[in-house]
Amino acid sequence: MRRLYLMSVAGWLFLAQAVSTAFAAGEHGAEESPSLFAGGMWTSFWALVVFLVLLAVLGKFAWKPILQALKNREERIRTDLQTAKNERVEAQRLLDEYKTQLAQAQAQAHEMIKQSSLEAERAREEILAHGQEQGRQAAEQAKKQIDQARVDAIKDLYAQSAKLAGDLAAKILQREVNSEDHRVLIEQGLEELKKTTQEN
């Protein structure tokens, strides 16, 4: 309400100034153009009063709020700039941290791949060594079995040869060979067969 009152007073003063200026221009005649500073002492006085009142009204109701708004805006801009600077520093820190973590993750991945390769190579070598060992054992076992089969075959051959020789000798002699003769003939036959086999 007070603001409205002061604005109306300022308006009336401005109107009074304009009227007094118009009268002063009428006194000087039509040949002169009207001027704000033309006229007498009263015109200058009222112009000064209107100017001071307008200055006071503007200072009270316009400039202070405008200056306060400008100060608030300046403070808000300063705060926003500081916040943006802080956020930029934080973003750079986070980016650096992310790059560091990424580099560490890549190094760990390379290390894991290298470790996996080494473990795979070690497992392959163990499998090969185990396979070779099993192969060697199987070969030795097969060789033993072959040797045993050969020995068994030779024994069977000796036994059959001795029996055949005994049967043949019995037929030749036309008599039955007793068990003692049979055993002696087998041993002799085996001895001769061993000598023959060793010579071959």
pLDDT in tens, 36-72: 555 667 777 887 888 888 888 877 777 777 788 889 9
> Among the three residues 84, 99, 132, which one is the final residue of a domain in this structure?
84
Residue where a domain terminates, one of 34, 68, 84: 84
For residue 14, tell me if it sits in a domain.
Answer: yes
Q: Could you give the angle at the alpha carbon of 190 between the alpha carbons of 186 and 193, nearest 5°?
A: 135
Q: Is residue 157 part of a domain?
A: yes
Q: Which domain holds residue 35?
A: 2-84
* Residue 113 included in any domain: no
Q: What is the pLDDT of residues 89-141, one digit of tens each?
A: 999 999 999 999 999 999 998 898 989 888 888 888 888 888 888 888 888 88
Q: What angle do CA 74, 75, 80 make, to 5 degrees?
A: 100
Q: Which of 34, 55, 33 is nearest to 43 (CA)?
A: 34
Q: Which of 163, 157, 158 shows the shortest CA–CA distance to 179?
A: 163
* Of residues 112, 99, 197, the one with CA closest to residue 153: 197
- Inside any domain, residue 32: yes
pTM: 0.36
Indicate whether 97 belongs to any domain.
Answer: no
The answer to the question of residue 174 being in a domain is: yes
Which residue type, as a one-letter code, is found at position 187? E
Lowest model confidence (mean pLDDT) among 81-85, 107-111, 135-139, 167-171:
167-171
Number of independent structural domains in the chain: 2
Is residue 153 in a domain? yes
- Residue 30 maps to a domain: yes
